[in-house]
Amino acid sequence: MAIKDLESIPAPSVIPPRILYLDAYDSFSNNIIAQVEICLNAKVSKLYIDDPRFQPGAKPALLGTSHSFHEYLKQFDAVIAGPGPGTAIDDKDVGLMKELWKLQDADLLPVFGICLGFQSMAVAFGADIETLKEPKHGLVSEILHKGRSIFIGVNQLLATQYHSLQVNIEHPIQIKRAVRYPGELWCSTGKCPDIEPLAWDFDNRTNGAVLMAFKHAQKPFWGVQFHPESICTNDEGKHMIQNWWKCAQTWITKHAIKSTPISATVPLSVLEYQCALSCKHISEVTQPLVASVRGTQSDTIFRKTVSTLDPERLAKLIRNGDSHSLPNLPPDVVHCATTGSGRLAVADVCNVFNIPRSEAIILESGLQADLLPLKVGTGRYSIIGLVIPRETLRLHYYTDTKLLQLRDGNNSVYTETLVDNVWSYIKTVMKHLKPKREPSGPTFAPFWGGLMGYVSYEAGLEQINVLPAAYRENESAVPDICFAYITRTIVFDHQVKKIYVQSIRCPDDKPWVSGAVERIYEAVGYKSAVPTPSPMPRPNPFDSMLKDPVIDTYLDPNKTLIAVADRAGYSCKVSKCQNIISKGHSYELCLTTTNEIRAPKSSSADSPSSTNELSWKLYSRLVKQNPAPFSAYIRLHNLHILSSSPERYISWDRNGSAQCRPIKGTVRKLPGVTQSDALAILSSPKERAENLMIVDLVRHQLHGVYGAGNVRVTQLMNIEEYETLWQLVSVIDAVPPGVQKARTPDEWEEPADYVSGRKASPETSSLGFEAFVQSLPPGSMTGAPKKRSCEILKDLEGEKRRGVYSGVLGYLDVGGGGDFSVVIRTAVKIDSGDNEKEDVWRIGAGGAVTAQSIPEAEYEEMCGKFSSTARAFNR
């Protein structure tokens, strides 16, 4: 009996289906899995397309299975062959997918192909793959169908497409752009007699008719070119998925092919097996346990460590010291006192505590003239992390050596060890730093103390098994992960104009808290009593530092060199990106470059404190000229970081609810460019496509941690205005299973659950940390699909490390929360020695390149982003 005769038979009621998802390393696979689990109440298992257990020459006993791929499939009711980068005619890109189309007789089971899976199926049954004249990435089109098979009852279908290639079955509508009669549109062709068209896209005249869906005439195979799981595909996409399963159920019932699973448990993956052999401390928050990741350095799993330091030992050293050179300061109690902030700005309090001349970490929110937050949902809090001389501990990690160091308060290496996964150590440290007694009172700050610092782009690449580029001059001295253990903090709540002074240093540190509150209280009174900007009989420590002879000399335009990426060279790279995109290897590539500002060292910069003060003055100029919700000043080790980032990477509260705010789509504020102009530009298909692709990527990452039904887009492509730019911003929330309501941007940073006394379980409270790690590096700085895009960008950018730029910075709170920004609009300087004659500030900038990009426009966008930071270096 033919498939078309079976599809009219009502589907029987069955237990939740067992579905295998073949993952081609696509950025959106978890979105598809979540959609299928929700729509079908299914149990979905993931298998990578190059799983070594099923490759030629594999040793089944060693790899944990004695079964062939065909036997392995008998555990499942159906298979989904998912999207991915590359082309269906390359065996490496489709991997195990090609084995599906060879299934015969008793081995047959229903298969649904999406995008690459759809094209792989078409190639197996005679079709050709061709390049679209105009690629479709992140673009939404109406799909024409006849309402049969998987489209029964489906109304107007608006679907997101992510493809540069198309299936050619030599249909008259593809060759002649016409059919003899309407019904011919749904007929098979002589070239591909087994392929029955189910849907077409006629949206683009240049491309002509593009095949969007088909079914196999005899086998239970269906496929679609578009992405039913995208946030911008309408609800008819879900309807179509449900129809596919009804068709599959009918075929299963008719052929009675359901079988008992081979065993009660799925065989161990290679990574699980290797972990068992090596007895290493593998993180609970790594990628799904499958070792079939291209580029994996297998020797790292079996590497010997420098010392016997394990995560538990490291955590105890940080928490309790060693009774010798490391202090015993367990964070058992959070000491907290509050006072009103009055007219004090963050810089004022920093001056009170002499921070401009010392090491410190400042996370600062840009404010309006009335000192209220710039944006709703962001920028409510500012955090001053005090680095205590000769005491504050640091964690350093280097990607080239896999070396994790614990450094003491003098920045000397106390102990070090080679690690397989640095995040297992950091997670264990944070677990041991949980306070026994929390602050009392109606409300309290989102950060009590903990780890503050940054994670480089290259450290993020480790999470997706992409080998980082080699170090350049001076870079090897800078850690890829740097966190300081901050025990004293001052936190501004700009919404209610309140300051929290906190300490997690036990024994009792109440005297310091009381003294700090008194100093701030006096400063509030002093500033409130002094008219501004009236002249004072003595210097006002809160006056602006923007007019300063030292910094003006330092920024002498006759001596300061600004080196911006070459227009022709950058535009050429944009064109190369588009060529790669047209071949199907990526949907979107976030191309970046490093610009430099070189200035002779100031004659007054004769000590670390004066060098720090110069950096602080530059930072003060930056935040005044380019205020942003996620500004940051970091002075640690030999690194100076001055940031005015508008973009949140991820934030999560102490109960595990998380939020991401990706930014894609930028219009520079130039003379003659009005807000209406910006609105028109950012509403264009190109700009919206850039943002949509990252939204789908972020959803994929959060779905991988929080699971189906727990990720929601609460703001889709809203236009936000900043000092020098307009940008397109989306908001994605994730909640632990069982939580009914996601926080809105207005509610986000208020720790309401703690106020009401409800606390999360350890399992749910750790979800935010897991999402933070698994989402590295930030998708808005990579493109999609992430892994393949990062591999491509590494080559295009000349094997140059991005370093801190494109990474993230923020905090891990001892209470379980965290907040990190994307490191953009940022200047970075590395001190390399006493004999330096000039300071070199590196300012990275770039933008998302799509098939619709114009190279010259991309260069101008990059320059606009660079200029928003470089303004601080102009006299």
DSSP sequence for 518-579: HHHHHHHHHHHHS-SS---SS--TTS-SSS-HHHHHHT-TTT-EEE---HHHHHHHHHHHHH
DSSP 474: T
Residue (of 548, 591, 619) closest to 829 by Cα position: 619
- pLDDT band of residue 606 (cuts 50, 70, 90) is low
- Position 257 scores a pLDDT of 46
- Position 119 scores a pLDDT of 98
Domain positions in the chain are 17-97+109-255, 270-304, 312-533+548-754+762-873
Q: Is the distance from CB of 199 to CB of 228 less than 8 angstroms?
A: no
Identify the sign of the CA torsion 296, 297, 298, 304.
negative
pLDDT at 14 over 70: no
Identify the sign of the CA torsion 789, 790, 792, 798.
positive
For residues 352 and 538, what is the distance between their CA atoms, to the nearest angstrom? 16
**Dihedral, 143, 148, 154, 158 alpha carbons, nearest 10:** -10
Q: What are phi and psi of 791, to 5 degrees?
A: -65, -40
State which H helix or E strand residue 213 sits in. strand 210-216
For residues 688 and 667, what is the distance between their CA atoms, to the nearest angstrom? 13
- Position 834 scores a pLDDT of 63
Q: What is the mean pLDDT of residues 416-426?
A: 96
- Position 637 scores a pLDDT of 86
Superfamily of domain 312-533+548-754+762-873: Anthranilate synthase (3.60.120.10)
Q: What is the mean pLDDT of residues 37-62?
A: 88
- pLDDT band of residue 7 (cuts 50, 70, 90) is very low
- pLDDT band of residue 413 (cuts 50, 70, 90) is very high
- pLDDT band of residue 206 (cuts 50, 70, 90) is very high
Q: What is the mean pLDDT of residues 753-761?
A: 47
Q: In this structure, what token pair is assigned to residue 638?
A: 């030999």
Q: Is the distance from CB of 380 to CB of 363 less than 8 angstroms?
A: no
For residues 334 and 25, what is the distance between their CA atoms, to the nearest angstrom? 44
Residue (of 21, 90, 28, 30) closest to 49 by Cα position: 21
- Position 372 scores a pLDDT of 84
- Position 298 scores a pLDDT of 28
- Position 293 scores a pLDDT of 29
pLDDT at 5 over 70: no
Angle at 198 between CA 197 and CA 202, to 5 degrees: 90
- Position 193 scores a pLDDT of 98
- Position 368 scores a pLDDT of 84
Q: What percent of the chain has pLDDT over 70?
A: 85
- pLDDT band of residue 284 (cuts 50, 70, 90) is very low
Range name among 47-61, 195-209, 412-426, 792-806 with the lowest pLDDT average: 47-61
Q: What is the mean pLDDT of residues 639-667?
A: 93
pLDDT at 292 over 60: no
Q: What are the start-end ranges of the E strands in 639-744? A: 639-645, 648-652, 658-661, 663-668, 711-721, 725-734
Q: Is the distance from CB of 107 to CB of 70 less than 8 angstroms?
A: yes
- Position 272 scores a pLDDT of 35
Angle at 263 between CA 258 and CA 265, to 5 degrees: 115
Range name among 256-270, 413-427, 730-744 with the lowest pLDDT average: 256-270
| Full-model pTM | 0.89
Range name among 290-299, 354-363, 376-385, 815-824 with the lowest pLDDT average: 290-299
Q: What is the mean pLDDT of residues 86-115?
A: 96
Q: Is the distance from CB of 742 to CB of 655 less than 8 angstroms?
A: no
Q: Residue 250: which residues within 8 A CB-CB, separation 6 or more?
A: 6, 7, 9, 10, 11
pLDDT at 138 over 70: yes
Q: What percent of the chain has pLDDT over 90?
A: 71
- Position 280 scores a pLDDT of 31
Tens-digit pLDDT profile for residues 834-865: 667 889 999 999 999 999 999 999 999 999 99
Q: What is the mean pLDDT of residues 11-18?
A: 70
Average per-residue pLDDT for the chain: 86
pLDDT at 266 over 70: no
- Position 836 scores a pLDDT of 75
Range name among 209-223, 275-289, 784-798 with the lowest pLDDT average: 275-289
> What architecture does CATH give domain 17-97+109-255?
3-Layer(aba) Sandwich (3.40)
Range name among 553-567, 642-656, 743-757 with the lowest pLDDT average: 743-757
